[in-house]
Structure 1
Amino acid sequence: MTTPRIAIAGAGLGGLTCARVLQQHGFTDVTVFERESSPDARQQGGTIDLHADSGQQAIRAAGLYDQWRALARFEGQEQRKVDHATAALVEHEPAEGDFRPEIDRGQLRGLLLDSLAPGTVAWGLGVTGAAPHEVTLTDGTTATFDLVIGADGAWSRVRGAVSAAVPRYTGVLFVEVRHDGDEALLDLTGQGTMVADHDGLMLWSQRSSGDHIRAYACLRAPEDWQPSTADLLDVYADWHPSLRAFLRGEPVHRPLYALPVPHRWDPTPGVTLLGDAAHLMPPLGVGANLALQDAAELALAVARDGVDEGVRAYESVMVPRAVDFAERTEAGLLDMVPARPVRV
């Protein structure tokens, strides 16, 4: 029996997990197309928590559970909430159990990459367009496959093969500021995540391995506003000085986008989507876990039922689940950052 040829667009966590699980089940003709030139072409982001009922199950399916546990930070489950005006601790959830330990995105991506057969990822060769059974690549060539999987994120080039939907600005802007080894900020953050909110503004910080911190100012603002540090300090003027210190540094502007809710499409033989390509939603703690869950379930369904029937079985579960989470995160974002635009 001929092994199906499978193309995966995007070497993010979802695409790599899908490739790994497929290879675990004997699929030898799997290619992951990635436009970045190498695994180290850019910094891979902060920390993510893998949930026991989704992300961790995907890692089990990939045969990497023990290796993941060796890297996971169980202490990273700690959550702290502080008062915006005094920085005093008002809520505390200690790190207990193993439902959602943290791991750096780069560490998890490296674990997945190292698990793949040599040559699985075609670096520097991205997907610029897709149709059922076909991809167009950045070098201008086209190639045909039994299945094309869009794991290429928010601005997916594969999505257009099944849906005309495009991400929309949510009205919420995240501004990221990174810190390394600042003891005062580490103490406030704790081992995991710290949050403070007041009058439509939010500030949260996350600790990664190596005493790195990523802090985020979260506010409603125009999509094209790119506040400076001085602008942020002005917006957060009545916050405690120890919290405003999180905002001092090089700002990285991250407007939040989401696909329309609900996002559905007609089953289309030869192509499917997973992760943000299928259900981009606000980053409220479920996106990476859903991408991993999608990836493992898709691979397992194809291994069990064959390409076409497997994809239909996968989409029949994935799409309703994604719609449910998208509705909840849409409501959660409004609750987290109420509709009070900052005057700029």
Structure 2
Amino acid sequence: MKEASVPPSHARISIVGAGPGGLTCARILQRHGIPVTVYDRESGPDARDQGGSLDLHADNGQIALRAAGLLEEFFRLARPEGQEMRKLDLTGKLTAHLVPEPGDRFKPEIDRGKLRELLLGSLAPGTVRWGCALDGVGGPADGPRRLHFADGSTVETDLVIGADGAFSRVRPAVSDAAPQYSGVSFLEAWFDDVDNRHPGIAELVGPGGAHAADGLRAMFAQRNGGDHIRVYLIQRVPAGWIRAGGLSPDDTRALLLERYGHWAPGLLAMITDNDGPYVDRPIFALPVPHSWAHNPTVTLLGDAAHLMPPLGVGVNLAMLDAADLAAAVAGADTIDDAVRRYEKTMLPRSIDMARHLEGAAEHLLSDR
């Protein structure tokens, strides 16, 4: 019997990446009584900031949480008021305002860190192995596979699930595709204790998000939990422009003030008054369409499979992928059958969405 024909209940299943997609998949597999191990390169769950707020949609992310048995806990942690969206002109005047109806839970916001805590807390102790930086996947296509880690250790496994993000180390086992720079970058700035220390910014942004653009550059500010706001300054710039230019934080701020100089002082405060450093986040995407020939022992989910511009679909699709894959594994006779069933659903869905969002990072700069 080939390794790919191992029944899921007896298979060694390895998920690489402890983000929302990987953890959701692990949780649902465990609910079905299927053992799984998650490997993550970070030293622990608190090794780095997990990023800002995200919205989980009723027609994808929430479906996954329901399958994970965590939907009601999510609603207790989420911020439905975070669905409010504001559009501002360059004077800071409100030109459009979307306010959610009372009881609207279609896409409430939750901090990424809170979502990760929820998912981690739902797993059996020891499920996640921290400090395991993957170098690559070896072994024959029909298994067993071997995970090679940066510290020289290896693990033999029957199914490798790549949930390790944009620059996945699992992806090369099935695809030669590499993320390409979109030409657009986000520069992230943080604001803490905003109602007391940054009341003008807090008033402009409100409980959800606020966006302003002039056709060449844009600004998106988003309320997070704990009285925090994150601001993303959006520009067409070369990848790594700060490092390549040797710009200090003061140089960067001066250049931003020059580029945004015609914007209102209240908006410019989002450039000048941030707490801590700027964080450069160039936007990458995988080629469209992205697919691969079926491999019976390796598959991908989330950004590893279909990296797209950050327009509210990434985490939602990753979690839906995770739910579909876990259900396929639980319902199949063999690992090979499970991977086929999952990819038959996931690949067309992700290709359709990627085509819809292709080049959409540019739309963030539009003043229309």
Q: TM-score range by the shorter chain?
A: over 0.9
Which consecutive segments of 4 or more residues in structure 1 shift more than 3 A?
none
CA deviation digits over 1:169-215, x for unaligned, max 9? 11001101110122111111111110001122111100001110000
Does residue 139 of the first structure (1) align with residue 151 of the second (2)? Answer: yes
User: Does residue 316 of structure 2 align to residue 289 of structure 1?
Assistant: yes
| Alpha-carbon separation, structure 2, partners of 1:122 and 1:177 | 31
Q: Tell me if the contact between 1:10 and 1:126 (Cα under 8 Å) persists in the aligned partners.
A: no
Alpha-carbon offset, residue 313 of structure 1: 1.0
**Structure-2 residue corresponding to 1:189:** 205
1:31 matched residue in structure 2: 37
Q: Which runs of 5+ in 1 are unaligned?
A: 339-344
Equivalence map 1:1-344=2 (5 Å):
3-28=10-35, 30-84=36-90, 86-96=91-101, 97-131=104-138, 132=141, 133-180=145-192, 181=194, 182-226=198-242, 228-248=252-272, 249=274, 250-305=277-332, 306-337=334-365
Q: Which deviates the most, 304-313 or 42-51?
A: 304-313
Q: Which whole-Å CA distance do the structure 2 matches of 1:246 and 1:322 have between them? A: 35
Q: Which runs of 5+ in 2 are unaligned?
A: 1-6
- Deviations for 1:283-329, whole angstroms, at most 9, x for unmatched residues? 01100101111011100111011421111111111111111111222
State the partner residue of 2:4: none
Code of the aligned partner of 2:67: A
Give identity over the alignment, percent. Answer: 53
Distance 1:187 1:280 in 2: 34
> Counterpart of 1:210 in 2: which secondary structure?
coil
For residues 46 and 362 of structure 2, the distance between their equivalents in structure 1, rounded to whole angstroms, comes to 35
SS of corresponding position for 2:358: helix
The Cα offsets for residues 11-48 of structure 1, whole Å up to 9 and x where unpaired, read as: 111110000000000112x1100111110000111100
Per-residue deviation, 1:233: 1.1
Task: Deviation per CA, 1:209-268: give whole Å up to 9, x if none.
Answer: 111000011111111211611111111010111011111232111111111111110000
Deviation of 1:134 after TM superposition, in Å, equals 2.3
- Structure-2 separation of matches of 1:233 and 1:290: 36
Contact 2:16 2:22 in 1 (8 A): yes
Given that 1:161 and 1:271 are in contact with CA atoms closer than 8 Å, whether structure 2 keeps it comes out as yes
The amino acid that maps onto 1:123 is W
The AA in structure 2 aligned to 1:36 is E
How far the C-alpha of 1:95 sits from its partner, in A, is 2.0
What is the aligned residue count?
336
